[in-house]
A and B are shown apart, each in its own frame.
Chain A
Amino acid sequence: MTLSDWAGTPENWVFLVIGLGMLFAGFRVVTSPNVVHAVLYLVAALGGTAALFLLLGAEFVAWTVVLVYIGAVVVLFLFGIMITRAPVGREVQLSHPIRVRVSAAIVAFALFVLLAASVVGYFEDAVVAPSAATRTDDIGQAMFERFVMPFEVVSIVLLAALIGGIVLARRDPTEESEALR
């Protein structure tokens, strides 16, 4: 496919805008000196993923991302920040000194190059053909017919996480009773 072909498809432009935005947001997540800003940039990135899902016709997944990720997970993060009294403001260093950052950057970049090169080298001109959006009904069917076992397992995982979270986060019972006295 030539560049002009690519540029001729309007979806690509949409993708480009959303993609760049996502990348910028992701970049700010990992480099922002302000904690809350970082969280908000994550929100932007996640929103971008939802938009992309819509572009790809995965409507159910897109709205699940918005509801669960942005709605619950990010809020949870904010709670976490609050409880751990993460330094809010600009003075405190949120990242490691530059030495660490350089080496991490090199590794991350190497990883990116590796992945991108492999993929581009393999797929080259393969295209995602625009097609109709996936019906939620089909997803539900597949979920409870074909993927019912993983579904049940994931629910147990959530249960375990729930219990685990409670157990981990609670105060020691003896301490509690003494504190109460």
Chain B
Amino acid sequence: MSVFAALAPLVLATAEEGAEHAADLTTSGPLLSAAWLIPVVPMVLTFAIVFWGKKLPYRGWELAVGSMGFVALYGIVLFFMNMSQGITYEGSVTLAEIGTQALGDNVGSALVFEWGWMVDGLSIMMYFVVGVVGTLVFVYAKGYMEGDARYTWFFASFTLFGGGMLVLVSAPNLIQLIVGWELVGVASWLLIGHYWEDHDASSSAIKAFLTNKIADAALFIGAIIVGLSVGSFRFTDIMDVIASGSGSPLSRFAFWGGVAIFIGAMGKSAQFPLHVWLPDAMAGPTPVSALMHAATMVTAGVYLIARMFPFYAVDGFADEVRWVIIAVGTLTLFLTGLIALVQDDIKKVLAYSTLSQLGYMVTAMGAGAYTAGLFHLFTHAFFKALLFLGAGSVIHAVHSNNMSDMGGLRRFMPKTYSTFVIGALALAGIVPLAGFWSKDEILASIRFAGSADGYTVAQGGAWLADFVLVVAIAGAFVTAFYMTRAVSLTFFGEYKGDGHPHESPNVMTYPLVALAGFSVVAGLINIPGVTSLFTDGVGARFFAGFHELEHHAESLDLGVALIGTLAAAAGILIGYRIWFEDKETQRARDAFGVPLLYPLLRRKYYIDDAYFYGVVKPLREPVARGVDWFNGHVIDLVVNGAGFLARAAGKLVYLFDQRALDGAINASAGITSFGGGRLRLLQSGRVQQYATLLLAGTVLLVAGFVIYNGLTT
């Protein structure tokens, strides 16, 4: 933290330059050409941990944290380089080229499969987040996972996740992105199911994987549509096609391609109605929840939309999909926030909170606020990871996830308490913490989208922006509300548990402190009108004429900022009133006086039930039974038939062996015996017979000789 403070003046000074020379982009350098190491190092170290981890002094942790630390260092260096002089670089290695008739003939005629690494503003931001948050979470996990039976394997899977995520964000083409996408999906399954002896954990892991898989199918379709109509899967090629204007085949298929890709993003970023897997994913260890299901993996969907942003922004392509995106994001934002109010499990509260914040990011993207959405992703990573790790610290001390077993923990765990509160305030969006700046920018962008120059007005939907704004502000209120509840139930009041909770070891609290520091300062790099480091940094990308699509706030939109802060403050105050002061009625706390709403929220709008009875059960019973019948009667028929054939063939071979082969052998023996018997008669002992034969032979020989002589003379 002190390092950052020391560098701040330097950064601020160079940032001024960077803003003016936005067109001056760095396109080469040794650090950039070597950036392929960023995803590769964790992937390689995963295998190292698998093979040699158990023998190492720290049982593999040193390799895991080393890989993340390497990425963090690299990411920090690139981040600062990018702030002073923007970077756009794409390195690649061609793996295969397939000649094909592309629908679009403006980009090449062959489908190229290549492995590459993008180094531009967007990717550098992701490297920074994954690396820094990853390192801190890995350090924390060393303490949290101490004594776990599958310690080494845990860190191997976690490093695999890190590598997969980096593959995803460094991908210069859709194919590699999908590879990384799937890798993190596998890692997520491995890690959620870490405690697989618990049936809930293993079924949650499968639920997460399958829900994502449904979305992935859409992602594949979308990627294929886009890739084939452009003739290439490379993002730069896609952006070039978009830059050349509508009329290309891409614009014909853009809408459906855009929808399909967005559905893929919905799966990974848990948007309504594919959000159901995230709360259940809390069955995994808390470090996993902190890193994957708060800061990084779930942000992959937002990243994808950001990467494809021109596709969704430029007129004539998939810009009409933004209606869908906004709708989905807004729905997610609000509905999931409400569920957080009725959860007893502290991790579930945070999970629904994450869903709600992801809704914010997606809504921002839909409204065309590229920078705002990404900025919120950036800040959210820090304070949400902080909150999860804090929750983990509490759970570790109390040995229970439920807030009904907690209470009054601020006396026992001061460091956890103070960092948690900082995180909660950041999440609620209290100035000057990080959440305020990012959430404010989202609100401002939504407002702009509804204004005269904005997107929605231009498309004829001025009412939409206003509606979304109202929902977003309401969401801010709800966020503050449930976080106050969580803090109060956990850290205040009487301790309702059994044991003697104590503060967690340093290895767990130091990352909390570090993340709290980030939560405080991370927002300061993009104060509207003062600094726009983040905007410029993230703005360094390949699509040149892109900046004009966005709205950049020249100064702080005071109106929105004020209303947002008021909403958050209201949430905190009302929450304080209910949960801090009124300590008597438990039911009042949880039901907050609206009995009808409570069961609906507790049952999570019956969506999980709908999935279960609508999808899972019909598949499980009729389909599974049908498949079983087919297997038993048709496939087994084939197998049994094969067995029968094999037996028959065996019998045939046996017969052949017995009769034919043995017969032949016996016959040869018989012939020999017979012949011998006959030939024996030659040795009759009768000399006259010998003489006859002798003479016959001689006569034949001589006759032959005579005839030969007669013929040749």
Q: Are A107 and B703 in contact (CB under 8 A)?
A: no
Q: Are B695 and A107 in contact (CB under 8 A)?
A: yes
**Total A-B pairs, Cβ < 8 A:** 26
Q: Does B244 contact A (CB under 8 A)?
A: no
Provide the B690-713 mask, 1 if CB < 8 A to any CB of A, else 0: 001001100110110010001000
Q: Are B695 and A114 in contact (CB under 8 A)?
A: no
A103/B692 contact (C-beta < 8 A), A114-B706, A121-B710 known: yes
Could you tell me the distance in whole angstroms from the C-beta of A111 to the nearest C-beta in chain B?
A: 5
Tell me, in angstroms, the Cα distance from A110 to B699 when the chains sit together.
7
Provide the A89-125 mask, 1 if CB < 8 A to any CB of B, else 0: 0000000100010011011001100100110010000
Q: Are B696 and A107 in contact (CB under 8 A)?
A: yes
Q: Does B459 contact A (CB under 8 A)?
A: no
Q: Are A114 and B689 in contact (CB under 8 A)?
A: no
Q: Are B688 and A114 in contact (CB under 8 A)?
A: no
Tell me, in angstroms, the Cα distance from A36 to B703 when the chains sit together.
37
Q: Are B689 and A110 in contact (CB under 8 A)?
A: no
The residue among A96, A107, A118, A121 with the most chain B CB atoms within 10 A of its own CB is: A107
Tell me, in angstroms, the Cα distance from A114 to B698 when the chains sit together.
11
Could you tell me the distance in whole angstroms from the C-beta of A112 to the nearest C-beta in chain B?
A: 10
Q: How many residues of A contact B (CB 8 A)?
A: 12
Tell me, in angstroms, the Cα distance from A117 to B710 when the chains sit together.
11
Dominant secondary structure at the B interface? helix
Tell me, in angstroms, the Cα distance from A110 to B706 when the chains sit together.
13
Residue in B692, B700, B710 whose beta carbon sits within 8 Å of that of A104 in the complex: B692
A96/B688 contact (C-beta < 8 A), A111-B695, A121-B710 known: yes
Tell me, in angstroms, the Cα distance from A101 to B699 when the chains sit together.
17
Could you tell me the distance in whole angstroms from the C-beta of A131 to the nearest C-beta in chain B?
A: 32
Could you tell me the distance in whole angstroms from the C-beta of A159 to the nearest C-beta in chain B?
A: 28
Q: Are B695 and A100 in contact (CB under 8 A)?
A: no
Could you tell me the distance in whole angstroms from the C-beta of B265 to the nearest C-beta in chain A?
A: 107
Tell me, in angstroms, the Cα distance from A100 to B688 when the chains sit together.
9
Tell me, in angstroms, the Cα distance from A150 to B689 when the chains sit together.
35
Q: Are B689 and A100 in contact (CB under 8 A)?
A: yes
Tell me, in angstroms, the Cα distance from A111 to B699 when the chains sit together.
6
The residue among B699, B703, B710 with the most chain A CB atoms within 10 A of its own CB is: B699
Residues of A within 8 A of B688 (CB): 96, 100, 104
Tell me, in angstroms, the Cα distance from A32 to B692 when the chains sit together.
20
Q: Are A107 and B710 in contact (CB under 8 A)?
A: no
- Could you say which interface size class chain B belongs to? 10 to 19
Q: Are A118 and B696 in contact (CB under 8 A)?
A: no
Dominant secondary structure at the A interface? helix
Q: Are B695 and A118 in contact (CB under 8 A)?
A: no
Residues of A within 8 A of B692 (CB): 100, 103-104, 107
A114/B702 contact (C-beta < 8 A), A100-B688, A121-B710 known: yes
Could you tell me the distance in whole angstroms from the C-beta of A152 to the nearest C-beta in chain B?
A: 33
**Nearest-CB residue, chain B, relative to A112:** B699
Could you tell me the distance in whole angstroms from the C-beta of B693 to the nearest C-beta in chain A?
A: 9
**Nearest-CB residue, chain B, relative to A118:** B706
Tell me, in angstroms, the Cα distance from A121 to B710 when the chains sit together.
10
Task: Report B656-713 residues with CB < 8 Å from chain A CB.
Answer: 688-689, 692, 695-696, 699-700, 702-703, 706, 710
Q: Are B696 and A114 in contact (CB under 8 A)?
A: no
Tell me, in angstroms, the Cα distance from A157 to B677 when the chains sit together.
44
Tell me, in angstroms, the Cα distance from A100 to B696 when the chains sit together.
13
Residues of B within 8 A of A106 (CB): 696
Q: Are A110 and B710 in contact (CB under 8 A)?
A: no
The residue among A96, A106, A111, A121 with the most chain B CB atoms within 10 A of its own CB is: A111
Residues of A within 8 A of B695 (CB): 107, 111
Residues of B within 8 A of A100 (CB): 688-689, 692
Could you tell me the distance in whole angstroms from the C-beta of B707 to the nearest C-beta in chain A?
A: 10
Residues of A within 8 A of B703 (CB): 110, 114
Could you tell me the distance in whole angstroms from the C-beta of A70 to the nearest C-beta in chain B?
A: 27
Could you tell me the distance in whole angstroms from the C-beta of B112 to the nearest C-beta in chain A?
A: 93
Tell me, in angstroms, the Cα distance from A52 to B692 when the chains sit together.
30
**Nearest-CB residue, chain B, relative to A111:** B699
Tell me, in angstroms, the Cα distance from A110 to B704 when the chains sit together.
12
Task: Report A142-178 residues with CB < 8 Å from chain B CB.
Answer: none
Tell me, in angstroms, the Cα distance from A114 to B710 when the chains sit together.
13
Residues of B within 8 A of A110 (CB): 696, 699-700, 703
Could you tell me the distance in whole angstroms from the C-beta of A177 to the nearest C-beta in chain B?
A: 35
**Nearest-CB residue, chain A, relative to B695:** A107
**5 tightest CB-CB pairs across the interface, nearest first?**
A107-B696, A110-B699, A111-B699, A107-B695, A114-B703
- List 25 A-B residue pairs with CB atoms under 8 Å apart, sorted by A's residue number: A100-B688, A100-B689, A100-B692, A103-B692, A103-B696, A104-B688, A104-B692, A106-B696, A107-B692, A107-B695, A107-B696, A107-B699, A110-B696, A110-B699, A110-B700, A110-B703, A111-B695, A111-B699, A114-B699, A114-B702, A114-B703, A114-B706, A117-B706, A118-B706, A121-B710
> With contacts A104-B692, A110-B699 known, what are 7 further pairs, Cβ within 8 A?
A100-B689, A107-B692, A107-B699, A111-B695, A114-B702, A117-B706, A118-B706
